[in-house]
């Protein structure tokens, strides 16, 4: 190699490089200092500031910073801003690779153009090829009107990639501003969507359109705010008070997930002994079978360090879904919540549970199910709303799942709800029961009213029925329950069973896909 001459000027002083440096500096400013200041006045971070918080310090590498739009209509040719309203790139979260895009509201209101969409699509293609999660930070006014069908085509290209990546890599969305019209469908297609209270909104048609068409008066917050979507619609899976908390929550969620469906589950060092006993659980189920208790407290006793990352905790509260760890390994937890609607399964709970179970199965996350369910919620509203179809979704999800499935019945397991909640008949691997378990077609009072209608000694008949069925022994006799254990042994037993099932494989007949009762 020839020596470098001493009098050669540094390349950094090359005019072409200076031009590149100027362009990159301009890209860093997005829509300019004034628009950045307005963003901060609203209590919101800029697109790049959000990425700095999401990723490990200094790990983010931007791609496409010099991209510009291609529209020459309506004066757009005079408004060229580097990056075109979205920052894309990759970095690490807790040392593991992650791809992300962050829409920049300071540039054309974060509106999506053909070039904007192409940047997101290229990012998602790279994420799938690398086998790493993709996170979308959404803050956009919607399609860029000046580009017409080109912006609509851009949305559809993104949607197609959302579908192609489904079940291959985790896709996570964080709505940090407006997300309206067709833009809502990309977050809706991702695995989990989080929102920021009082500053993020999602709706297909805004309040003005609703007012003109239906004459309903509704605010943005009421129509599509975080409170609406986390408690009523179930569109969002969690809400945070501010952007920093939201980004920290996203980092925490990523720590539980594998990089892809081909990657092993993350396993962290665990200081919580796998054989730890849980004496509190011996007393948690009330003697009165009609009395409620908090199932979340049961789960926290069992999992590592009592840590549970709940999914949709404010929606369909009669069922609990979330991620936890057993002996350092990620597990998905599904549980009836006796403290809400007595733990009955209704439409919302069935859909919430089914979606979570299918996510866990897609990414090889073992399922732990805690059961205390008196049945499906009765009533005309549920029947007319399609509880049969929606309940079948949860049944289908459990039956289809091939990951390790461990079930603990703590008290009631009645009727069809017993079957649906990861029963042995849906090929659960290990089904355990506490001595307080009651496995039957229905409760003793209802059963006696049917079996012994008109019998004057109803109380005695109820006692006979309870002695026969309000215990786990009938199911254990025929092998539907693998073991009856002391509640305090639950963590120790689950940890041991998880180690055994770590190499589980299931063969299924070839098919394109099943026909889930959607």
**Does residue 364 carry a pLDDT above 90?**
yes
pLDDT bin (cut points 50, 70, 90) of residue 370 is: very high
- The pLDDT assigned to 217 comes to 92
Hey, is 138 helix, strand or coil? strand
- In the prediction, which pLDDT does 12 show? 62
Local confidence band at 7 (pLDDT 50, 70, 90 cut-offs): low
Q: What is the pLDDT of residue 182?
A: 82
Residue 316 is predicted with a pLDDT of: 98
Query: What's the whole-number average pLDDT of the chain?
Result: 92
* pLDDT at site 8: 63
| Cα 383 to the center of its chain, rounded Å | 27
What is the reported pLDDT for 80?
80
- Residues 6 or more apart in contact with residue 377 via CB below 8 angstroms: 341, 344, 345, 346, 387
- pLDDT range class, residue 11, cuts 50, 70, 90: low
Region of poorest pLDDT, from 82-86, 215-219, 254-258: 82-86
Per-residue DSSP letter, 8: P
Give me the active site residues, please. 181-182, 416-417
Give the per-residue pLDDT at 470: 77
Mean pLDDT across 246-269: 97
Q: Is the pLDDT of residue 386 over 90?
A: yes
Confidence band, pLDDT 50/70/90 cuts, at residue 198: very high
- 171-192 pLDDT, tens digit per residue, is 999 999 989 888 899 999 999 9
448 versus 157: the higher-pLDDT residue is 157
Burial profile 341-376: b = 16 or more Cβ within 10 angstroms, e = fewer: bbbbbbbbbbbbbbbbbbbbbbbbbbbbbbbbbbbb
Report helix, strand or coil for 409: strand
pLDDT beyond 80 at 349: yes
d(CA 100, CA 500): 36
Which of 13-27, 352-366, 384-398, 474-488 has the lowest average pLDDT? Answer: 13-27
pLDDT value for 137: 97
* CATH 3.90.226.10 domain locations along the chain: 33-256, 279-437+472-503
To the nearest whole percent, how much of the chain has pLDDT over 90? 73
pLDDT at 108: 84
Answer yes or no: is pLDDT of 200 > 90. yes
CATH 3.40.50.1980 fits 33-256, yes or no: no
Cβ atoms of 199 and 177 closer than 8 Å: yes
For 161-171, what is each residue's pLDDT tens digit?
999 999 999 99
CA 423 and chain centroid, separation: 24
pLDDT value of position 10 = 67
- Burial class, 509, CB count within 10 angstroms (exposed 0-12 / middle 13-18 / buried 19+): exposed
Per-residue pLDDT of 469-517, as tens digits, reads 778 988 999 999 999 999 999 999 999 999 999 999 998 889 999 999 9
What pLDDT band is residue 20 in, cutting at 50, 70 and 90? confident
pLDDT in tens, 96-149: 999 999 999 998 888 888 889 999 999 999 999 999 999 999 998 887 877 788
Q: What confidence score (pLDDT) does residue 272 get? A: 97
User: pLDDT of 291-339, one tens digit each?
Assistant: 999 999 999 999 999 999 999 999 999 999 999 999 999 999 999 999 9
The class (CATH top level) of 279-437+472-503 is alpha beta
């Amino acid at each position: 190699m020839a020596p470098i001459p001493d009098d050669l000027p540094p390349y950094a002083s090359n005019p072409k490089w200076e031009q590149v440096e100027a362009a990159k500096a301009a890209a860093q400013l997005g829509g300019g200092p004034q628009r950045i200041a307005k963003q901060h006045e609203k209590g919101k971070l800029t697109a790049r500031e959000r990425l700095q918080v999401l990723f490990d310090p200094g790990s983010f590498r931007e791609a496409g910073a010099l991209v510009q739009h291609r529209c020459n209509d309506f004066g757009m040719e005079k408004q060229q801003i580097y990056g075109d309203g979205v920052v894309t790139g990759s970095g690490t979260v807790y040392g593991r690779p992650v791809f992300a895009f962050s829409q920049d509201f300071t540039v054309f209101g974060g509106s999506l153009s053909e070039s904007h969409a192409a940047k997101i699509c290229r990012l998602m293609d790279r994420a799938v090829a690398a086998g790493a999660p993709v996170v979308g930070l959404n803050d956009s006014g919607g399609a860029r009107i000046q580009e017409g069908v080109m912006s609509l085509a851009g949305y559809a290209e993104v949607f197609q990639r959302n579908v192609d990546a489904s079940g291959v890599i985790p896709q996570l969305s964080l709505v940090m501003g407006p997300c309206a019209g067709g833009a809502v469908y990309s977050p809706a297609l991702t695995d989990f969507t989080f929102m920021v209270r009082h500053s993020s909104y999602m709706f297909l048609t805004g309040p003005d359109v609703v007012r003109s068409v239906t004459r309903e008066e509704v605010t943005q917050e009421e129509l599509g705010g975080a409170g609406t979507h986390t408690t009523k619609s179930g569109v969002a899976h969690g809400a945070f008070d501010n952007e920093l908390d939201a980004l920290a929550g996203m980092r925490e969620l990523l720590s539980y997930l594998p990089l892809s469906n081909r990657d092993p589950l993350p396993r962290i060092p665990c200081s919580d002994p796998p054989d730890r006993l849980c004496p509190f659980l011996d007393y948690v189920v009330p003697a009165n079978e009609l009395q409620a208790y908090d199932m979340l407290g049961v789960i926290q006793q069992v999992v590592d360090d009592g840590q549970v990352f709940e999914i949709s905790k404010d929606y369909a509260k009669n069922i609990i879904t979330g991620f936890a760890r057993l002996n350092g390994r990620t597990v998905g937890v599904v549980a009836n919540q006796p403290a809400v609607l007595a733990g009955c399964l209704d439409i919302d709970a069935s859909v919430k549970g089914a979606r979570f179970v299918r996510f866990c199965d897609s990414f090889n996350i073992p399922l732990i199910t805690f059961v205390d369910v008196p049945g499906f919620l009765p009533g005309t509203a549920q029947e007319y709303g399609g509880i049969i179809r929606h309940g079948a979704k949860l049944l289908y999800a459990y039956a289809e799942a091939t990951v390790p499935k461990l079930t603990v019945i703590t008290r009631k397991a009645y009727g069809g709800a017993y079957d649906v909640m990861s029963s042995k008949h849906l090929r659960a691997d290990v089904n355990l029961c506490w001595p307080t378990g009651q496995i039957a077609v229905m409760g003793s009072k209802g059963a006696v009213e049917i079996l012994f209608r008109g019998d004057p000694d109803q109380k005695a008949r109820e006692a006979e029925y309870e002695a026969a069925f309000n215990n786990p022994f009938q199911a254990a006799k025929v092998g539907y329950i693998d073991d009856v254990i002391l509640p305090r042994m639950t963590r120790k037993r689950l940890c041991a069973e998880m180690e055994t099932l770590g190499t589980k494989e299931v063969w299924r007949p070839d098919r394109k896909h099943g026909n889930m009762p959607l």
